[in-house]
Amino acid sequence: MKTIAIDARDSGTSTGRYVDKLIEHLHGIKPDYEIIVLAKPHRLDFMAEIAPNFRAMLCPHKEFTFDEQIGFKRQLDQLKPDLVHFAAVQQPVWYGGTVVTTMQDLTTLRFRNPAKNPIVFTAKQQIYRWMNHRVAHKSKLLITPTEFVKQDIVNFAHIDPAKITVTLESSDDLPEPAEPVTAVGDKQFVMYVGRPTPHKNLERLIQAFAKLQANRPDLHLVLAGKQDANYRRMEADAIRQGISNIIFTGFVSDQQLRWLYEHCQAYVFPSLSEGFGLPGLEAMRHGAPVVSSNATCLPEVNGDAALYFDPLNIDDIAAKIEEVLNDEDLRQRLIISGQTHVATFSWRRMAEQTLGVYRKALGD
């Protein structure tokens, strides 16, 4: 029986949901391969729980380190799997075995993070650019979450598009019971959840919200996500500009996030660049109307179930949010079409397609 090793070092993070769901649903398919899951120490029990028939193996090698390049490569050389699936670009770039890599997007190559030292960040960004190019060429096959990312990688790395398979991801029901967010209470609000990095375009969302307040002084903007230097900078800027009614919640639990989706007037997704854009589908699943940027993959993922705006146009962002707030028929249509649309996505199908990529890479 051939052996496939899956790099699950990212398990347990927001970006690691992909590999967690892949392993869970791949286990349900019962593939005719021996599957070894390579995970960090604190995720070994989780892997044994969701995939008891797979072999969970300790892999303590941290991403983007010399230990990854040397220690992880040594571990794989000793393991000698027939195939390694790296669930992200970070990997031992000189590993010589058969490799499938999932490339989620190229966003990090295009945007800087103002919270980071600019000299250090630029240097790391250039190394990451080289790594993406190297991985795109050295991997036998690639997986992307959307057609947009597939074409983006073809243009970036100049590779044959036949080398890339698109496996759409999915979303899940968040756990019950929904837990109210005390800071929000019974206020009327629109919301965003996620990181505040530059490509998320939150500065323009805040400026659009300021325009909405002229006619809606009781409306609030909820920005949910772990507090970091970028969120603190945005909060200080909003105070300095006299923009009120913005609630920075900090980290929210899944139960609290469910409550926010269920009670918001609209979920607003202002991003300039995404590889898939999971929060939009998550919002639809929990009954929130989605008002979305029309950039990159978002129209591909959200289809006709969202109302779109130009993310570079503050007036357009404000106008589209206002349209949903003013037109209850439109709001209800978006809610209904969103719940119909999100039902077309499937983690099981993603896992089946991924298994097909493994078979193709192995010549089976």
Query: Residue 304 has what DSSP assignment?
Result: G
pLDDT above 80 (res 141): yes
305 phi and psi, to 5 degrees?
-95, 10
pLDDT above 90 (res 119): no
| Helices 147-157, 118-138: crossing angle, 10 deg rounding | 90
Residue in 35, 53, 42, 34 with CA at minimum distance from that of residue 16: 42
* The overall pTM is greater than 0.85: yes
Cβ atoms of 141 and 167 closer than 8 Å? no
Residue in 70, 92, 75 with CA at minimum distance from that of residue 139: 92
> Residue 139 and residue 87: Cα distance in Å, rounded?
12
Q: If you write DSSP's letter for every residue of 47-111 in order, what string do you get?
A: HHHH-TTSEEEE----TTSHHIIIIIHHHHHHH--SEEEESSS-S-TT--S-EEEE---SGGGT-
What's the pLDDT at 118? 80
E strands within the chain?
3-7, 34-39, 55-58, 83-86, 99-102, 141-144, 164-166, 189-193, 220-224, 246-250, 266-269, 290-293, 306-309
> Residue 124 and residue 242: Cα distance in Å, rounded?
36
pLDDT above 80 (res 272): yes
> Residue 150 and residue 357: Cα distance in Å, rounded?
15
- Domains identified in the chain and CATH numbers: 3-170+346-362 (3.40.50.2000), 189-342 (3.40.50.2000)
Report pLDDT digits (tens) over 339-364. 999 999 999 999 999 999 999 999 98
What's the pLDDT at 125? 84
pLDDT above 90 (res 124): no
For the chain, give the percent of residues with pLDDT over 70: 100
Stretch (H or E) spanning 207: helix 202-212
Report pLDDT digits (tens) over 214-257. 899 999 999 999 988 889 999 999 899 999 999 999 999 999 99
State the pLDDT confidence band at 116, using cuts at 50, 70 and 90.
confident
Report pLDDT digits (tens) over 148-206. 999 999 999 999 999 999 999 999 999 999 999 999 999 999 999 998 999 999 999 99
